Amino acid sequence: MDKVGIVGYNQVKLYSDANYGRYEMIFEAVRGAIDNAGLKKKDITTVISATNDYYDGRTISNCFTVEVGGGYLADESKVEMDGAHAMLYGMMRILSGNHKLAVIWGGSMPSCYPYHSTRLYETDPTWERPNGYVNDITASGFQMRAYMDKYNLQTEDIAKVAVKNRRNAAKNPLALDEAQNPDITTKDVLESEIYSDPVTELMVGQPCDGVAAVLLAPERQALKITDKPVWITGVGYNQETYYIGERELHTSNSMEASAKMAYGMANINDPVNEIDIAELHETCAHEELIFAESLGLAEKGKGPEISSEINGDLPINPSGGALGGNPPCAAGLIRVIEAVKQIRGEAGTYQVNGAKRAIASGQIGMCAQNNIVYVLEGGE
Amino acid sequence: MGRQVAIASAGFSEHASKRSDVSMPELAQEAIEDCLKKVPSVEFDDINAYVNGNMPAFEGSNLPELWMTDWMGARNKPLMRVTTGGTTGGSVAIAGYYTVTAELPGIDTVLAVAFEQQSQGDTSVGLASVAYGEISILNNLGIPYDQLNRLLSAGAAIGVAAYQATTYMNKCRITEEDLARVVVQNRRNAAKTWWAHLKMPNLTIEDVLDTPYVQYPLRYGMVCPASDGCCAMLFTTEEKAKDMCDIPVYVNGVASVANETAVLGYDGGGSAQVDPSVQLGAMKSAELAYGQAGISFPRKEIDYAEVYAPFPNQELMWVEKLGLFEETTAPEMYETGVTARDGELPVNCSGGVNSTNAIGASAMERPATAALQIMGKASNQVPKTVHTAIGSGWGGSLNFITLLAMSDEPRRRFT
Amino acid sequence: MSKQTQRKSLDYVKKQYKRTRTMPASWYLSSYNYKYNITHFQPFLEKLKEKKLIANQCSSCNRVFYPPRFVCGKCLVKPDRWVDIRETASVATYVIAYLKDEEGNVQEKPMVLVNHDGADTCSIAMLEPGVDVKDTYIKMPIKAHWKEETEGGLMDIEYYDVMEDDAEDLE
Using the predicted structure, report yes or no on whether residue B264 has a pLDDT greater than 70: no
Q: What is the mean pLDDT of residues B42-55?
A: 93
Spans of chain A, pLDDT less than 50: none
Longest dimension (CA), chain C: 67
Spell out the residues 6+ positions from residue A107 whose beta carbon is closer than 8 angstroms to its own: A12, A25, A26, A29, A50, A51, A83, A209, A210, A211, A212, A327, A329, A330
pLDDT, one tens digit per residue, over A232-280 is: 999 999 999 999 889 999 999 999 999 999 999 999 999 999 999 999 9
Q: What is the pLDDT of residues B358-411, one digit of tens each?
A: 888 999 999 999 999 999 999 889 999 999 999 999 886 677 889 999 999 988
In chain B, residues with a C-beta closer than 8 Å to the C-beta of C53 are: none
Nearest to A260 by CA among A376, A371, A378: A371
In this complex, which chains have at least 3 CB pairs below 8 Å with chain C?
A, B
**Which residues of C are less than 8 Å from A22 in CB distance?**
35-36
Kindly identify which residue of chain A lies nearest to residue B284, measuring between CA atoms. A73
Categorize the per-residue pLDDT at B265 as very low, low, confident or very high, splitting at 50, 70 and 90. Answer: low
What's chain C's average pLDDT? Answer: 78
> What is the pLDDT, as a whole number, of residue B375?
94
Whether A20 and C32 lie within 8 Å, measured CB to CB: no
* 3-state SS assignment for residue C13: strand
| Enclosing H/E stretch for A83 | helix A83-95
Query: Number of structural domains, chain B?
Result: 1
Q: What is the largest CA-CA distance in chain A?
A: 57
Is A66–B1 a contact, with Cβ atoms under 8 angstroms apart? no
A45/A103 Cα distance (integer angstroms): 8
Percent of chain C with pLDDT over 90: 2
Percent of chain B at pLDDT > 70 equals 93
Residues 134-153 of B with CB under 8 A from C: 136-138, 140-144, 147, 150-151, 153
Shortest Cα–Cα distance, A75 to chain C (Å): 14
Name the percent of chain B lying above pLDDT 90.
52
Q: Within an 8 Å CB–CB cutoff, is residue A120 touching chain C?
A: no
End-to-end CA distance of chain A: 21
Best residue of C7, C12, C70, C120 to probe chain B, by most B CBs closer than 10 Å:
C12
User: CATH number, domain at B368?
Assistant: 3.40.47.10
**In which band, very low, low, confident or very high, does the pLDDT at B214 lie, cut at 50, 70 and 90?**
confident
- Asked whether residue B48 is assigned to any structural domain, the reply reads yes
Helices (H), C86-171: none
Which of A129-138, B166-175, C10-19 has the highest average model confidence (pLDDT)? A129-138
| Chain C contact set for A20 (CB, 8 A) | 35, 37
Residues of chain B positioned with their CB less than 8 A from the CB of C45: 141
Confidence at residue A36, expressed as pLDDT on a 0 to 100 scale? 93
B197 contacts B13 by C-beta, under 8 angstroms? no
Residue A333 contacts C, CB cutoff 8 Å: no
Cβ distance of B102 and A124 shorter than 8 Å: no
HEC states along chain B? CCCCEEEEEEEECCCECCCCCCCHHHHHHHHHHHHHHCCCCCCHHHCCEEEEECCHHHCCCCCHHHHCHHHHCCCCECEEEECCHHHHHHHHHHHHHHHHHCCCCCCCCEEEEEEEEHHHCCHHHHHHCCCHHHHHHHHHCCCCHHHHHHHHHCCHHHHHHHHHHHHHHHHHCCCHHHHHHHHHHHHHHHCCCCCCCCECCCCCHHHHHCCCEEEECEEHHHCCCCCEEEEEEEEEEHHHHHHHCCCCEEEEEEEEEECCCCCCCCCCCCECCCCCCCCHHHHHHHHHHHHHHCCCCHHHHCCEEECCCCCHHHHHHHHHHCCCCCCCCHHHHHHCCCCCCCCCCCECCCCHHHHCCCHHHHHHHHHHHHHHHHHCCCCCCCCCCCCEEEEEEEECCCCEEEEEEEECCCCCCCC
Neighbour tally for A98: CB within 10 Å: 22
Return the half-sphere exposure (C-beta side, CA atoms, 13 A cut-off) of residue B198: 29
Residue B176 in domain: no
Report helix, strand or coil for A217: strand
Enumerate the domain spans of chain A.
4-113+207-225
Residue in A with minimal Cα distance to C71: A68
pLDDT tens for B119-153 read 887 777 777 777 777 777 777 777 777 777 766 65
Which amino acid belongs to residue B178? D
Question: Which of C31, C32, C37 lies closest to A20 in CB terms?
Answer: C37
Q: For residue A187, with 0-12 CB atoms within 10 Å meaning exposed, 13-18 middle and 19 or more buried, which class applies? A: exposed
Close Cβ partners of B139 (under 8 Å, ≥ 6 residues apart): B145, B148
Question: Does the distance separating the beta carbons of A113 and C33 come in below 8 Å?
Answer: yes
Q: Report the gap between the CA of A223 and the closest CA in chain B (Å).
A: 17
What is the mean pLDDT of the segment spanning C152-167?
A: 78
Least CB–CB distance from A21: residue in C27, C37, C75:
C37
Please tell me the predicted confidence (pLDDT) of residue C29. 66
Q: Which residues are registered as beta bridge partners of A239?
A: A370, B77
* Closest by Cβ to A73, choosing from B56, B77, B280: B280
Cα gap C166→B207, rounded to integer Å: 41
Contact B66 A98 (CB under 8 A): no
Q: What angle do CA B154, B160, B164 make, to 5 degrees?
A: 130
Instruction: Report the residue of C23, C34, C76 to disrupt the A interface, i.e. the one with the largest count of A CBs within 10 Å.
Output: C76
Chain B hits for C109, Cβ within 8 Å: 150
Taking CB atoms and an 8 Å cut-off, how many pairs form between chains A and B?
Answer: 210
Which chains neighbour A (Cβ–Cβ under 8 Å, 3 or more pairs)?
B, C
β pairing state of B110-117 and B49-53: parallel
Interface touch C6/B269, C-beta < 8 Å: no
Cβ contact A59:B124 at 8 Å: no
> Is residue A163 within 8 Å of A185, Cβ to Cβ?
yes
CB count within 10 Å of CB A224 equals 11
Task: Tell me which chain C residues have a C-beta less than 8 angstroms from the C-beta of A23.
Answer: 36-37, 70-71
Minimal Cβ distance to B85: which of A63, A237, A365:
A63
Q: Is B160 inside a domain boundary?
A: no
Whether A67 sits inside 8 A of C36 (CB atoms) is no
Distance from CA of B206 to the nearest CA of A (A): 37
DSSP-derived secondary structure for A307-353: --STTSSS-B-TT-GGGG-B-TTTHHHHHHHHHHHHHHT--GGGPPT
Smallest Cβ distance to A126: which of C23, C32, C74? C23
Residues B292, B253 contacting (CB under 8 angstroms): yes
Q: What is the pLDDT, as a whole number, of residue B32?
A: 94
Q: Does C65 touch chain B (CB under 8 A)?
A: yes
Residue C3: band (very low, low, confident or very high) from pLDDT cuts 50, 70, 90? very low
CATH number of A4-113+207-225: 3.40.47.10
Round to whole Å and give the CA distance between A376 and A358: 5
* B154 assigned to some structural domain: no
Residues C14-41 have a mean pLDDT of 75
A22/C33 CB distance under 8 A:
no
Q: What range defines the domain where residue B380 resides?
A: 5-122+225-407
Chain B: residue nearest C108 by CA?
Answer: B215
Which is more confidently placed, B415 or A334? A334
User: SS3 of A182, please?
Assistant: coil
Is B61 within 8 Å of A237 when comparing Cβ atoms?
Answer: no
The neighbour count for residue A330, using CB atoms within 10 Å, is 33
Q: A312 — contact with chain C (CB < 8 Å)?
A: no
With contact defined as beta carbons under 8 Å apart, do B231 and B12 qualify? yes
